[in-house]
Structure 1
């Protein structure tokens, strides 16, 4: 079950490369005390970072969670990585909330998107 049910069901839009992404893949423990509140706080906090472009989330029924954060440049990603409140949440995650996790950081060299146009239905009459 995802903590991101209220999030729009659209991916972060494609941006002009280069930019950076951080892929955070997790398996959580049974101990989730204050996780939702801390997660919401981190989502609010990262939005204040100049160069933050957005975030996508997915959760499998089996418990694998994936969060992808998008950042305009390496400086924005570094600012997020070194934020004191974020660092405290990371420590708590290792101590309580995560059974395991991986973090992958990459520079995006190509980006594109697609959105299906919604067809207008003819008026009944």
Structure 2
């Protein structure tokens, strides 16, 4: 699991297109399990991406298009970010009927 927390800059040119493209790429990656995302009106974003194992996450991390987007993010789109990589030990959910 990768937890990516961001604060965006005012410069967002090309972000939405790149984000949509990367989301399509990662969906086709063997070992990708899904993603949750939340965004505040003030620009704080949290994306949690789930992978089968560390190898699948490593493959995503080293994908050329993802690396290029990371570089662009540091140059233009993000005021700051943090990345936490963790292993999920247990997961449960609830949905109201």
With the shorter chain as reference, the TM-score category is: over 0.9
Which residue of structure 2 aligns with residue 28 of structure 1? Answer: 8
Distance 2:45 2:94 in 1: 24
TM-score by length of 1: 0.76
- Residue 48 of structure 1 deviates from its aligned partner by 1.1
Q: Which has the larger radius of gyration?
A: 1
> Which runs of 5 or more residues in structure 1 are unaligned?
1-20, 118-125
Return the structure number with greater helix share.
2
TM-score by length of 2: 0.97
SS at 2:17 equivalent:
helix
Which residue of structure 2 aligns with residue 106 of structure 1? Answer: 86
> Which runs of 5 or more residues in structure 2 are unaligned?
none
Tell me which stretches of 4 or more aligned residues in structure 1 moved more than 2 Å: none
SS at 1:108 equivalent:
coil
Which residue of structure 2 aligns with residue 85 of structure 1? Answer: 65
